[in-house]
A and B are shown apart, each in its own frame.
Chain A
Amino acid sequence: MDLFKRYFPVFSLLAVVVGIQVVTHFTETTYYLTQLTMSAYYSVVVIGLCVLMGYGGQISLGHAGFFAIGGYLAGALTTHNLITLKGHRLVSLLDNVGLLVDSKGLYGGDLLTVEPWAACIIAVLTAGLIAFAIGGPILKLKGHYLAMATLGFGIIIYRIALASAYFGEADGISEVPGFKLLPGIEVSGSFVSRVLNYYIAWGMVIVAVILLLNLIHSRVGRALRSIHGAEEAANAMGVNTARYKLYIFVLSAVFAALAGVFVTHYNGGIGPSEAGVMKSVRYVAIVAVGGMANIWGALIMGIVLNFLSLRGVFGSYDDAVFGVILIIIMLFAPQGILNINPGQKVKSLLSFFVSKSGEETTE
């Protein structure tokens, strides 16, 4: 019964995903699938961050940094030509193991690049290792200090992406090849594989959701909630708070990096704006709107807001919309938009004004 309750929404999600594809097929609006695919990848970052923020209580303003580490490494490794280094021992060793691919470039030149699978694993591992390395000292911090430290990490990654020639400076990386997951299944932005890519992205979301749902209902999840509630108390009860915080930090970083890898292959490129502070703030905003400790809320809001933003509904007010959303949610509904009880809200507002005017008359 419990398991049924846990997985019922997953099956509903699956049904909705298939339903949307069928509807767009018959209404000939398949172009929506492109934005839905992108939204799905961004939502993987968001639900990872949701577990870190909502359940673990640790804010991170640097998740765009991890997304960028994944995307940039995958992009750079699969596009930079190693042909001139072919004589080098390390390169020929990699080639012999099958980690490199030979191909023809646009202008007929020989290209020798890293195989996307290898690049993906390297990118995600690197992001995980960086998260592991900085997570130790960063997660000792609390509140403002933690926010600023993670923000600082994000800025450093942004600066590195912007300043190094290897990552294309302000132009970013383009012409990233597709990522063949299995023979015949390729992550790429090509027109014909739009539907396939839609299912790849949503498959990733569903796997991520199932993983996280199981995680938060396990020992780890209980430990995280105890940390959120009262860290000292959790520590006194024998919960190894430092280890669990680090564990979830690395996990959410890996999610972000994986999404970054897939988005880069899907878009065929990545630019420094993906590493920007505004992106990190946006992920935090979505988690907040979804209700912090609510994976489904974060997922739904992640899809809705990213979809609207990618469709260009907000126009030049894109960032402003996310700023306003942040403020309004945090002022009026810190429990998230799905937990609003309108009647009670009006009552409390009324009582606020009544008590206010009462104060003034007595003074």
Chain B
Amino acid sequence: MTPELFIQYLFAGITYGIIYAIVAIGFNIIYNTTGIINFAQGEFVMLGGMIAITMHSVMPIPLAIVAAVVITMVVGALIEMVFIRWLESPSVLRMIIITIGISILAREVALHIWGESVRALPYFIGNEVTSVSILGAKISPQVLWVIGVCSLMVAGLSLFFKFTSLGREMRACAANRRAATLCGINTKNMVTLSFVLSAGIGAVAGCVMSPITYSDYSMGPNLAIKGFTVAILGGLGNSVAAVTAGLLLGIIEAFSISVLPLAFQDAIATSILLLILFVRPHGLFGSSEAASLKEF
């Protein structure tokens, strides 16, 4: 393998990896405030991309993306209010099945609105053949957009959770819901907020990745299973580790193409998921003791 090819694969891996990390962080945000794994997480990414593409026919790209993100956030809030908010201490099995149902419903609605065709947003700068040269490898500027936007989002989220009072309230809710309620935090609103937030970051990821990976109604479950793999790999609830784990998975997948047939690429993430669940369910980076103490 030439050094140029190596860098090419590396960037492809990083691009996908950071998107998986965003999906994983979406899982983590909701998991931390509710203890629910939202199986519909991938659908937020799909909705973001598809809505932006539709919006783009009537408005410029930046506006279309903002509109798509806002609409997806509203959808996230609605999902929480309609399906989850009023349930009193539902069992895990029940929540799994409800979120799976939501995911199917979102996908079917998308199928009936947009059809089966594969669409894409145009490239933010230039077109498919524009490239910048990095260490001899040709990289599309869109890849840099994906990496840049997602990194900013991760940084912004960790600042939000550390320094703003709203972020602190959400963390309090995650650490101990009852104690947070006693301190006067409206935990129900925090749960809604966590759905809004994870819908929002999912939609942003869906928009920036759309020119490279394309969007279609059925992309959600695949992203969700990979995002979940990453979330588990990093240790459920740990968003910083999720980024590392996401990059790891993305790079492994990218390089696997040079060894394995493309058709098996998706099976790799799933096999890693099964392996990690069997061997280290608390994640690569988490210790089993720390797993019992939930923190961001």
Chain A residues with CB under 8 Å of chain B are 53, 57, 59, 61, 134, 137-138, 140-145, 147-149, 151-153, 155-156, 159-160, 162-163, 277-278, 281, 284-285, 288, 316-317, 319-320, 322-327, 330-331, 334, 352
Q: Is B228 an interface residue (CB 8 A)?
A: yes
Contact residues, B204-242 vs A (CB, 8 A): 221, 225, 228, 232
A59-B93, A143-B92, A352-B86 given; A149·B277 CB < 8 A: yes
- Nearest-Cβ distance from residue B83 to partner chain A, whole angstroms: 7
Q: Is B71 an interface residue (CB 8 A)?
A: no
Contact residues, B78-99 vs A (CB, 8 A): 83, 86-87, 90-94, 96-98
In the complex, the answer to whether A331 meets B83 with C-beta atoms within 8 Å is yes
The digit string for B256-296, where 1 denotes a CB below 8 A from any CB of A, is 00000101101100110110011001000000000000000
A143-B92, A148-B277 given; A331·B98 CB < 8 A: yes
Residues of B within 8 A of A330 (CB): 94, 97-98, 101
Residues of B within 8 A of A59 (CB): 93, 96
Q: Is B108 an interface residue (CB 8 A)?
A: yes
- Nearest-Cβ distance from residue A291 to partner chain B, whole angstroms: 13
Q: Is B7 an interface residue (CB 8 A)?
A: no
17 new A-B contacts, CB < 8 A, other than A323-B108, A352-B86, are: A61-B100, A145-B232, A148-B228, A148-B232, A152-B271, A155-B267, A159-B264, A159-B267, A160-B267, A285-B97, A320-B108, A320-B112, A323-B100, A326-B97, A327-B83, A327-B105, A334-B94
A148-B277, A323-B105, A327-B105 given; A284·B225 CB < 8 A: no
A155-B267, A163-B264 given; A148·B105 CB < 8 A: no
Q: Is B180 an interface residue (CB 8 A)?
A: no
In the complex, the answer to whether A155 meets B270 with C-beta atoms within 8 Å is yes
Contact residues, B1-39 vs A (CB, 8 A): 37, 39
In the complex, the answer to whether A137 meets B278 with C-beta atoms within 8 Å is yes
Q: Is B175 an interface residue (CB 8 A)?
A: no
Task: Considering the complex, give the chain A residue whose CB is closest to the CB of B84.
Answer: A331
Residues of A within 8 A of B87 (CB): 331
Q: Which of B103, B105, B232 has the most CB of A within 10 A?
A: B105
When chains A and B are docked, how far (Å) is the Cα of A326 from the Cα of B98?
Answer: 7
Question: Could you pull out 23 A-B pairs where Cβ atoms are within 8 angstroms?
Answer: A134-B274, A138-B277, A138-B278, A143-B93, A144-B37, A145-B277, A148-B37, A148-B232, A152-B225, A156-B267, A156-B270, A156-B271, A159-B264, A162-B263, A163-B264, A288-B97, A320-B104, A320-B105, A323-B103, A323-B105, A326-B101, A327-B83, A330-B101
When chains A and B are docked, how far (Å) is the Cα of A288 from the Cα of B267?
Answer: 29
A149-B274, A156-B271, A327-B101 given; A144·B108 CB < 8 A: no
Residues of B within 8 A of A140 (CB): 278
- Nearest-Cβ distance from residue A112 to partner chain B, whole angstroms: 29
Q: Which of A144, A147, A162 has the most CB of B within 10 A?
A: A144
- Nearest-Cβ distance from residue A191 to partner chain B, whole angstroms: 34
Q: Which of A53, A323, A324 has the most CB of B within 10 A?
A: A323
Residues of B within 8 A of A334 (CB): 90-91, 94
When chains A and B are docked, how far (Å) is the Cα of A227 from the Cα of B267?
Answer: 32
Q: Is B70 an interface residue (CB 8 A)?
A: no
When chains A and B are docked, how far (Å) is the Cα of A76 from the Cα of B105?
Answer: 35
Q: Is B102 an interface residue (CB 8 A)?
A: yes
Task: Considering the complex, give the chain B residue whose CB is closest to the CB of A148.
Answer: B228
Residues of B within 8 A of A142 (CB): 92
- Nearest-Cβ distance from residue B109 to partner chain A, whole angstroms: 8
Chain B residues with CB under 8 Å of chain A are 37, 39, 83, 86-87, 90-94, 96-98, 100-105, 107-109, 112, 221, 225, 228, 232, 261, 263-264, 266-267, 270-271, 273-274, 277-278, 281
When chains A and B are docked, how far (Å) is the Cα of A282 from the Cα of B4?
Answer: 47
A-B CB proximity, top 10 nearest: A323-B104, A163-B263, A326-B101, A320-B108, A327-B101, A137-B278, A143-B92, A144-B37, A159-B267, A152-B270
In the complex, the answer to whether A326 meets B104 with C-beta atoms within 8 Å is yes
In the complex, the answer to whether A319 meets B225 with C-beta atoms within 8 Å is no
In the complex, the answer to whether B274 meets A319 with C-beta atoms within 8 Å is no
When chains A and B are docked, how far (Å) is the Cα of A137 from the Cα of B228?
Answer: 19
Task: Considering the complex, give the chain A residue whose CB is closest to the CB of B108.
Answer: A320
Which of B37, B104, B273 contacts A152, CB < 8 Å? Answer: B273
In the complex, the answer to whether A281 meets B104 with C-beta atoms within 8 Å is yes
Residues of B within 8 A of A285 (CB): 97, 101
- Nearest-Cβ distance from residue B232 to partner chain A, whole angstroms: 8
Residues of B within 8 A of A53 (CB): 93
Q: Which of B83, B93, B261, B264 has the most CB of A within 10 A?
A: B93
Q: Which of B91, B97, B109, B271 has the most CB of A within 10 A?
A: B97
Q: Which of A155, A285, A324 has the most CB of B within 10 A?
A: A155
Residues of B within 8 A of A149 (CB): 273-274, 277
When chains A and B are docked, how far (Å) is the Cα of A51 from the Cα of B186?
Answer: 40
Task: Considering the complex, give the chain B residue whose CB is closest to the CB of A318.
Answer: B108
In the complex, the answer to whether A284 meets B266 with C-beta atoms within 8 Å is no
Task: Considering the complex, give the chain A residue whose CB is closest to the CB of B278.
Answer: A137
Task: Considering the complex, give the chain A residue whose CB is closest to the CB of B86.
Answer: A352
- Nearest-Cβ distance from residue A227 to partner chain B, whole angstroms: 14
- Nearest-Cβ distance from residue A161 to partner chain B, whole angstroms: 11
In the complex, the answer to whether A145 meets B281 with C-beta atoms within 8 Å is yes
Residues of A within 8 A of B104 (CB): 278, 281, 319-320, 322-323, 326
Q: Which of A134, A149, A277, A352 has the most CB of B within 10 A?
A: A149
In the complex, the answer to whether A148 meets B93 with C-beta atoms within 8 Å is no
In the complex, the answer to whether A317 meets B98 with C-beta atoms within 8 Å is no
In the complex, the answer to whether A143 meets B221 with C-beta atoms within 8 Å is no
A144-B37, A145-B281 given; A327·B102 CB < 8 A: yes
When chains A and B are docked, how far (Å) is the Cα of A157 from the Cα of B273?
Answer: 14
Residues of A within 8 A of B109 (CB): 320
When chains A and B are docked, how far (Å) is the Cα of A145 from the Cα of B90?
Answer: 17
